[in-house]
Structure 1
Amino acid sequence: MPEHEAGGPLGTPTLEVRDFLRRRREQIAQRWADEPLFRTVFPLPRDEAVEAGKAVVDALAQVADAQRVEDSDAAGFTGVREQLARMSASRSRAGLSITQVSNELAALWPPVDRLLASELEEMPTEELRACTTTLSTLMGTLRVVAMQYAGADHSGDAWTWVRSGDRHTLMLADGLGHGPEAARASTAAVDAVRGRPHLGPAEMLRLLHVELGATRGAAVAVAQLDARSGRLWFAGIGNIGARMREGDRWRALLSRPGIVGVHRPGTVREDEFAWSADSVLFLHTDGLPSRWSPPSDPGTAAADPAVTAAVAIRDAGSAARPVRDDTAVAVMTSSPPDHP
């Protein structure tokens, strides 16, 4: 059986692409770090852009290993879905249209194609063409994954996490309606929370009602965990979903009717709960289908919250009933303790 320059036996085009991605991981990530999509989202230090690129290359290699290069739901993409969504959303917020963001994603393909052609130049023409086609398909699927949560130029959903001493606060906002005005309302909520990290949930909502008064308003939920005492406080106004895992069951945390910045209830209710190492909190906007339920996997508490949120969005939709573009999920767990 013939062998290519790297010394391994020729396999299927998909596995050849997998091996190429693993061998050239560093070079690809370095080249991507200079592309606008990575360079502008991760401006400094450059190493952050390189590491983000490596994560995407690893995901592509995993998808190729599973021989699912046309499947945007392939498990290999799970670990980078939130990163890709963040990158697409960041470029949209910078003023790029969806077409322009898509073009920046497409620009990631040529440098990888050139590396592939250079490394496998001694491969028979037909086999090289098959590898090139496979890589092109895989990169096209990557673009689908990155764009599927960025179907609008502006997202009305926004979240933030802040820390003040032992207290960790997670906030999720859904601006009323859609478009730039909805985004302005939710962004105003983020800015206000970041400026007052010490406030409790009920007090924070009272502040947000004032801060969002010049906007169209938003549904907002705020959860605050005291890591030292193991207590969690929650308050919400509007249709932000909140569910907390307690042992082997899920508890729905209730918000009051209203719109922060427009109509606030006279009394803002703040609930208190015990928090343990196995506890998990989900906050989500109404973009998730009504039939959605949190994962039953007992390992959720130990998983990276970003991965858990990405998997929740992925599993909530289907090809027939995809999750709406304007959708956000924020997750708080005890591990890792430094971020939600």
Structure 2
Amino acid sequence: MMKKTSIGPFTLYDYAPTREDSFRTEVLRGLAQPKKAIPCKFFYDERGSRLFDDICELPEYYPTRTELAILSQYTREIARELGPRPLLIELGSGSGNKTRLVLDYLDDPAAYVPIDIAREHLIASAALLLDAYADRGLEVLPVCADYTKDFDIPRARRPTQNLVFYFPGSTIGNLSPQEAVTFLSHLRSLARGPCGLLVGADLHKDRSILEPAYNDHAGVTAAFNLNVLARINRELGGDFALDHFRHRAFYNVTDRRIEMHLISTCNQTVHVGDVPIAFREGESITTEHSYKFSRESMADIASRSGFRVERVWTDAQNLFSVQLLRSV
């Protein structure tokens, strides 16, 4: 059930996702599988979010700076392609740097709709954006929800038929190709009519570039990966000994995805609350898959989910792409 809450100058559309219950249920379900896994969405507690911001500044980690460079170079062209009076719906609100690059050049945006499951972070980022664009009178309509679930897109004061979802950062790569098809089909259902999708998609490349991006020299990515266990300890009554696990990330060439794992360094039994979980030495917990795309694979996912690829912008080295999809 959705609840509207007035917070300062804007209204929060709150679908009250029960994060703790979901966290416990999904962690225990994942750790009970023959191949243990923890969903990567649980990386992002307060410390995890700070560590990821640090990762984005690392010399080995090319995706963020490359996507920002593409947006900086082509933002006027992208804005023209998005068309007049778009309702920009961002799936997972981040630091706001990419969002501002897009908002700066949009033609008379109807409103900005940030969607995130992290309520406090959502409120803070919505307030910053509202203040930054106060002189343009931008309406900000934050929605606290799991964007993979059903919710209603709030109506802007100024009506528009131009709905554009914004999904930066190659977060789509955390989904398998079939999951990506299901997710894009879900977006079409949420739109209840024609829509666009501006999406960041990391491109397939040599493992000599990919693997260092997830195994940085300073060990920040390792700390980010291990932090999910610290979060389980703190929030779910776990007793993981972090020094009994090590970070491993590698590029699976066959499936064209980076795999991140936490490897048990010994035979051990840990607990989540009162639930025991046994590990063999060398057994892993999969914490993230990050699929890499070709133009053809992205076009195939779009086609299978009722979209077509309308435009693609890349950097000179073809490391990363920003793609505009339209529903058909």
TM-score, normalization by structure 1: 0.25
Q: Which has the higher contact order (CA 8 A, sep 6+)?
A: 2
Which one has a bigger Cα radius of gyration?
Answer: 1
The structure richer in strand per residue is 2
The structure richer in helix per residue is 1
